[in-house]
Chains A and B, each alone.
Chain A
Amino acid sequence: MELRKLKRQKEYQWIIPQTGDMIVPGQIFASQQLIEEMDEKVYEQVTNVACLPGLQRFSIAMPDAHWGYGFPIGGVAAFDPQEGGVVSVGGVGFDVNCGVRTLKTGMVWEDIKPHLRSIIDTLFSIVPAGVGSRGEISLSSSQIQEVLTKGAQWVVSRGYGTHEDLDFTEDRGMVSGADPSAVSEVALRRERRQVGTLGSGNHYLEIQRVDEIYNPEVAQKFGLAVDDVVVTIHCGSRALGHQVGTDYLKSLAAASRKYGIPIRERELVCAPINSPEGRQYFSAVNCAINYAFANRQVITHLVRLGFEKVLPKVEIHMLYDIGHNTCKVERHQIDGQSKEVYVHRKGATRAFGASRENIPSAYRGVGQPVIVGGTMGTASYILVGTEYGEQVAFASVCHGAGRRMSRKKAKKTWRGDRLVRELEAKGIYVRGHSFAGLAEEAPGAYKDVSEVIEAIHNAGLASKVARLQPMGCIKG
């Protein structure tokens, strides 16, 4: 991205000045180097989003931002329904509530190390993953309705987890305003036996070791110490969520025409929040959000079963579960007044500060844990939300490293089987359902996540707490 088009507000905060049809300025959080490496398309997409009606304060991009669908991936936008604000498929993504969940094993690396292969092999056999994978749970049509309206809370009530798991899940694993009638018959038919499945692509299940603590006080509150072993799950709402995106792409395309919304590219299709189409889409999104929470909850149950087979004494507790493809109704201070807005986070993570009521009581006074995933060969990070982040970015941070290289190029550059051997030589045990899929996910195909984290930390959007190194990884 060309620096001359931007105004440097602070060292890690850049402004795209409001011009033409933009109703607010754009704002990008990044180091100069990350800005220079950033796709020109991000500038265009941040600018396009800034033209949408009802947008509040800024159209925002995170340091890992890259070219997305209408919105950049790593994009954040808050809309006020009272000012004609909209909901958009591009602002949520096709994999609704794709997110991450980190589980604490209560074990240190020395104790897990001799059993790593056995744990990974066991989890590989019991957590369904890969193209077209199906799980053990077959939901009847009335049970699907329960999952769509009650999310993780319903699966926990059926024995797949504990109430404590819910305490440490964003929105306690269930958002309200989910009317299953907004979800199409095709989406329901595609759901069949997919709850409790990982999927493919960049989704993973990883065993990680805490190798560095940056903030001992917060780490202690989160229950993390050097050498602790954690498990992180990255997945979303599976085919049901994808179908919600697909169905409403078409429906909102019609709505954009009907309401005469000035969209600059076709992928920005949207509908006013206060319109029948907008309300219906938001309701469908809420259903898919609940489905994804339920999905990660059932996988958590499978992780417990897997550990029980290998190391029966292990007790698994939640650190946190958070989505990064969402639209949420939240209260934010805007121009001196408290407003209820619809915050779209497309490839961005919510990061509430210490005083927010809707974070787990155990973390109040500290802040919400933020989980930022790396690759199968590079670190992931745990951060904590800040009040400054609430003020300048609607309490949002990045969600990952962001790709540096296209999948096509990655496949030409790496071979899945060799990659597995290379990672193994580094002490990382990888099992994948597809070698071609693994090559596309090669660590070298992604940007350096550490640089992205430094930018977030230095910009003050969240603060570093711990670094996690991958030791074992399952890819779909």
Chain B
Amino acid sequence: MGASSGSYSYFEHKADMGIAGTGPTLEEAFSQAARAMFGIMVEVDQVRPQKQVSVECQANDVAELFVEWLNALLAEADIHRMALARFRVDSLSDYHLVGCAWGEPLDTQRHHPKIEVKAATYAMLFVGPEKGQYVARCVVDL
């Protein structure tokens, strides 16, 4: 997990919310974007990285793979009723991703749940280099 060298941010969308992850590598951008997404649902700073979940996904291109990654994490969190806050992409090609996430069982007192993300979408989807860094962004449906 180590010190993080990337960052995440949100952008405006009329009905829902845009999320973006930025970093020196695509892997880091993907991880940051995941943290942005979970930040919509819970106070990620309050989530302790106690339990690990693994995800593996495939897609037709790297942009679709990004959406797959986010949706796979949503499903894992839901199935295990967890709040996730730390993310790592271990291997990434155009078609295949292996990664993991850490979190703990959802605690409605401590994690301050806010709003459920229904899905990551193809809206405003972009994955690639921008201003000397890698960026991964899309709109999530709330």
- Interchain CB contact under 8 A, B115 and A249: no
Contact A267 B122 (CB under 8 A): yes
A434 and B112: CB pair below 8 A? yes
Shortest CB–CB separation between residue A283 and chain B, in angstroms? 19
Contact A131 B79 (CB under 8 A): no
Stretch at the interface among A62-70, A215-223, A286-294, A329-337: A62-70
Closest to B68 in A: A250
Q: What residues on B are CB-neighbors of A254 within 8 Å? A: 60
**Are the C-beta atoms of B142 and A130 separated by less than 8 Å?**
no
Q: Knowing A242-B119, A407-B142, say if A130 contacts B78 (CB, 8 Å).
A: no
> In the complex, what's the smallest C-beta–C-beta distance from B84 to chain A, in angstroms?
12
Interface check B41, CB cutoff 8 A: yes
A267 contacts across to B, CB distance below 8 A: 121-123
Which bucket holds chain B's interface residue count?
Answer: 35 or more
Query: A130, B122: Cβ atoms under 8 Å?
Result: no
Is B125 interfacial (CB 8 A cutoff)? yes
The answer to whether A189 and B115 touch (CB under 8 A), given A269-B122, A406-B12, A407-B16, is no
Closest A residue to B116 using CB positions: A200
The digit string for B111-140, where 1 denotes a CB below 8 A from any CB of A, is: 011111011111101000000000000010
Q: Is the CB of B12 within 8 A of A94?
A: no
Tell whether, in the assembled complex, residue B116 and residue A201 are in contact, meaning their CB atoms are under 8 Å apart.
yes
Interfacial residues of chain A within 261-294, with CB under 8 A of chain B in the complex: 265-267, 269
| Contact residues in B for A190 (Cβ distance below 8 Å) | 75, 78-79
B:44-74 near A, CB below 8 Å: 59-60, 63-64, 67-68, 71, 74
Contact B15 A253 (CB under 8 A): no
Asked if A67 and B121 make an inter-chain contact with CB atoms under 8 angstroms apart, the answer reads no
- A residues contacting the other copy or chain, number (CB 8 A): 46
In chain A, positions 198-218 with a C-beta closer than 8 Å to chain B are: 199-201
Is A94 a contact of B16 with CB atoms below 8 Å? no
Out of A69, A131, A409, which one reaches B41, CB within 8 Å?
A131
Q: Which of B27-52 contact A (CB under 8 A)?
A: 41-42
Interchain CA distance A434-B108 in the complex, whole Å? 10
Q: How far is the CB of B120 from chain A (nearest CB, A)?
A: 8
- Check if B60 sits within 8 Å of A131, measured CB to CB: no
Q: Which residue of B lies closest to A408 (CB)?
A: B12
* B67–chain A nearest beta-carbon distance, Å: 7
A82 within 8 A of B: no
Residues 205 to 257 of chain A near chain B (Cβ within 8 Å): 239, 242-243, 245-246, 249-250, 253-254, 257
Cβ of A407: which chain B residues have Cβ within 8 Å of it? Answer: 16-17, 142
Q: Are B123 and A69 in contact (CB under 8 A)?
A: yes
Question: With the chains together, A94 CA to B106 CA distance in Å?
Answer: 23
Interface residues in B71-108 by Cβ distance below 8 A to A read 71, 74-75, 78-79, 81, 106, 108
User: Considering the chains assembled together, what is the distance between the CA atoms of A436 and B59 in angstroms?
Assistant: 34
Which residues of chain B have C-beta atoms less than 8 A from A200's C-beta?
Answer: 113-116
Residues A199 and B116 in contact, CB atoms below 8 Å apart: yes
A95/B118 contact (C-beta < 8 A), A132-B106, A253-B60 known: yes
Residues of A within 8 A of B125 (CB): 266
Given A242-B118, A269-B122, CB of A186 within 8 Å of CB of B79: yes
Q: Which A residues lie within 8 Å of B60 (CB)?
A: 253-254, 257
A104 at the interface (CB under 8 A from B): no
Which residues of A line the B interface, CB within 8 A? Answer: 39, 66-70, 73, 93-95, 130-132, 134, 186, 189-190, 192, 199-201, 239, 242-243, 245-246, 249-250, 253-254, 257, 265-267, 269, 403, 406-409, 433-434, 436-437, 440, 476
